């Protein structure tokens, strides 16, 4: 019985000894689990806790885009409104410590030189927020001056706004902002720019323009007032005419209500070359006299402009004179100069005088009922012509003249027409 008690005591002691490490292990495990739980809570609390210096201060730096020399403005620093650490900046050779007021502070700048300007912002030794260093490069472009040349602008009418300024090395885009619309063009290396606009509504607008040349660190910006007027009506029709005649080209100018606009200048261009300018009369009409002798092709562009408004037509041009020839019959004592003509309004100009001038002598003839005019020149008229020299035949019909060149060659004492050149020997 005693033995049994002793054994029972030993068993009890062994059980206590063996259970104690397990219990400690469980306690440790329980403590580790508790620490893990506490750490998760602390992490949440850490964002709101004071004094651990690990939170994000939300610091940022903002500044205007496209800063140019001569600009004035602010670099804005923003962040948490309870920052207590050392907030320090460096820019353009200056530095200072600052405090945020209501989470913001401005650093004023002006008269910055063109080029790149490093900016540095540091936050250190804050009891709540982590250290921060923000560095950036603020680019400052050299501002150049552009002069806008603003013409009269009508609504619903494409119009070029041009600019003049210094020569540059690169072509770059040029932007115009009118109301809510943007219009793009170019500023060219030779110092001129252009932007085509088309504004739908009449009124006065404030136009902002902007040009940036990153390659050369150049910028231009400015604004001007633009008055958009109601678009008038410019009326004209295509015409046809012959080279020997003159014809009046008539255009009419009306305002947007259809009323004649008197005393206004309109300009006529033929194939893009300025021809003549005329004023409108009390009925809004302007007349420009076009001479057939001024024309040179059978189908020409005929454009009339009023300020920035234009209307395009065609000028169908026809020549009466068809060809110039010269010939000599075998053993004849004369040389014949001849022209053939086209019909005008379905008929030949029978009886119309034609003048031939050759070697300082003038001959006349009339167009016959076959549309031909010719003169016979005695061979003796060529006796003083020099071999190898070029002589000009000038034929005049109405207000128009045509020429043909002839060269005398040394051949037998006969006259002949060879490949467009007149060949003759001395008589």
Asked if the structure places residue 27 within a domain, the reply is no
Is residue 65 domain-shared with residue 104, that is, in the same domain?
yes
Asked if the structure places residue 17 within a domain, the reply is no
421: closest CA among 395, 396, 394, 388? 388
Number of domain units in the chain: 4
CATH number of the structural domain spanning residue 157: 2.60.40.10
Give CA–CA dist 102/148, Å, rounded: 44
Is residue 90 domain-shared with residue 131, that is, in the same domain?
yes
Is residue 325 domain-shared with residue 419, that is, in the same domain?
yes
Is residue 182 domain-shared with residue 238, that is, in the same domain?
no
Q: What is the DSSP string of 4-38?
A: HHHHHHHHHHHHHHHHHHHHHHHHHHHHHHHHHHH
According to the model, what pLDDT value does residue 23 have? 34
Asked if the structure places residue 45 within a domain, the reply is no
Strand 153-154 to strand 218-229: parallel, antiparallel, or no bridges (unpaired)? parallel
Is residue 367 domain-shared with residue 416, that is, in the same domain?
yes
According to the model, what pLDDT value does residue 5 have? 54
73, 48 Cβ separation under 8 angstroms:
no
Domain boundary among 296, 318, 340: 318
**What b/e readout covers 113-138, taking b as 16+ CB neighbours within 10 angstroms?**
ebeebebebbbeebebbeebeeeeeb
Alpha helices in 229-348 (DSSP H): none
Is residue 163 domain-shared with residue 97, that is, in the same domain?
no
According to the model, what pLDDT value does residue 401 have? 79
Give CA–CA dist 136/162, Å, rounded: 37
Is residue 284 domain-shared with residue 336, that is, in the same domain?
no
Is residue 251 domain-shared with residue 180, that is, in the same domain?
no
Is residue 221 domain-shared with residue 159, that is, in the same domain?
yes
According to the model, what pLDDT value does residue 423 have? 34
Give CA–CA dist 53/109, Å, rounded: 32
Asked if the structure places residue 116 within a domain, the reply is yes
From first to last of its 427 residues, what are the pLDDT tens digits of the chain? Answer: 444 555 554 555 555 444 444 333 333 333 333 323 333 322 223 333 334 567 899 999 999 987 888 889 999 999 998 999 999 999 988 999 999 999 999 999 988 888 889 999 999 999 999 999 999 999 888 889 999 999 999 999 999 999 999 999 889 999 999 999 999 999 999 999 999 999 999 999 999 999 988 888 899 999 999 999 999 999 999 999 888 788 999 999 999 999 999 999 999 999 989 999 999 999 999 999 998 878 877 789 999 999 999 999 999 988 888 877 776 665 567 888 888 998 888 899 999 999 999 888 899 999 999 999 999 888 777 777 777 788 888 898 877 778 888 777 654 434 443 333 333 332 2
Domain that holds residue 93: 60-141
According to the model, what pLDDT value does residue 303 have? 96
Is residue 329 domain-shared with residue 415, that is, in the same domain?
yes
Q: Which residues, in sequence order, are CB contacts of 333 under 8 Å at separation 6+?
A: 378, 379
Domain boundary among 229, 263, 292: 229
Asked if the structure places residue 372 within a domain, the reply is yes
Asked if the structure places residue 359 within a domain, the reply is yes
According to the model, what pLDDT value does residue 298 have? 75
Asked if the structure places residue 12 within a domain, the reply is no
Asked if the structure places residue 294 within a domain, the reply is yes
- Coarse DSSP helix, strand, coil percentages of the chain, rounded to the nearest 5 percent: 15, 55, 35
Q: Which residues, in sequence order, are CB contacts of 385 under 8 Å at separation 6+?
A: 359, 391, 408, 424
Domain boundary among 178, 202, 229: 229
Is residue 209 domain-shared with residue 244, that is, in the same domain?
no
18: its two tokens: 């063996």
According to the model, what pLDDT value does residue 53 have? 67
According to the model, what pLDDT value does residue 217 have? 86
């Amino acid at each position: 019985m005693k033995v049994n008690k002793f054994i029972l005591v030993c068993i009890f002691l062994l059980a206590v000894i063996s259970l104690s490490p397990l219990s400690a292990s469980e306690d440790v495990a329980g403590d580790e689990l508790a620490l893990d739980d506490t750490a998760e809570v602390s992490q949440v609390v850490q964002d709101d806790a004071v004094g651990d210096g690990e939170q994000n201060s939300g610091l940022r730096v903002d500044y205007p885009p496209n800063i140019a020399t001569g600009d004035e403005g602010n670099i804005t620093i923003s962040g948490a409104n309870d920052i207590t650490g050392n907030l320090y900046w460096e820019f353009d050779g200056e530095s200072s410590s600052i405090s945020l007021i209501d989470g913001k502070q401005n650093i004023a700048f002006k008269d910055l030189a063109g080029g790149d300007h490093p900016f540095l912002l540091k936050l250190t030794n804050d009891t709540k927020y982590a250290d921060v260093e923000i560095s950036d490069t603020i680019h400052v472009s050299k501002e150049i001056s552009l002069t806008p040349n603003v013409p009269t602008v009508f609504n619903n009418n494409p119009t070029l706004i041009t600019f003049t300024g210094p020569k540059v090395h690169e072509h770059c885009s040029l932007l115009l902002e009118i109301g809510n619309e943007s219009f793009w063009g170019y500023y060219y290396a030779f110092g001129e720019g252009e932007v085509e606009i088309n504004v739908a509504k009449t009124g006065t607008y404030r136009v902002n323009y902007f040009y940036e040349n990153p390659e050369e660190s150049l910028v231009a910006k400015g604004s001007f007032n633009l008055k958009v007027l109601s678009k008038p009506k410019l009326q004209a029709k295509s015409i046809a005419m012959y080279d020997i005649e003159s014809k009046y080209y008539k255009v009419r100018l009306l305002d947007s209500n259809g009323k004649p606009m008197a005393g206004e200048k309109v300009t006529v261009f033929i194939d893009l070359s300025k021809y003549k300018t005329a004023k409108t009369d009390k009925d809004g009409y302007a007349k420009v006299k076009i001479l057939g002798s001024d024309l040179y092709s059978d189908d020409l562009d005929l454009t009339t402009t009023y300020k920035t408004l234009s209307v395009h037509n065609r000028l169908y041009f026809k020549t009466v004179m068809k060809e110039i020839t010269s010939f000599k019959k075998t053993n004849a004592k004369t040389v014949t100069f001849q022209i053939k003509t086209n019909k005008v309004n379905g008929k030949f100009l029978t009886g119309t005088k034609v003048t031939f001038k050759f070697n300082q002598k003038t001959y006349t003839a009339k167009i016959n009922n076959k549309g031909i005019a010719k003169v016979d020149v005695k061979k003796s008229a060529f006796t003083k012509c020099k071999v190898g020299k070029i002589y000009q035949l000038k034929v005049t019909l109405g207000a128009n003249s045509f020429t043909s060149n002839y060269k005398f060659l040394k051949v037998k004492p006969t006259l002949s027409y060879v490949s467009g050149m007149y060949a003759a020997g001395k008589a």
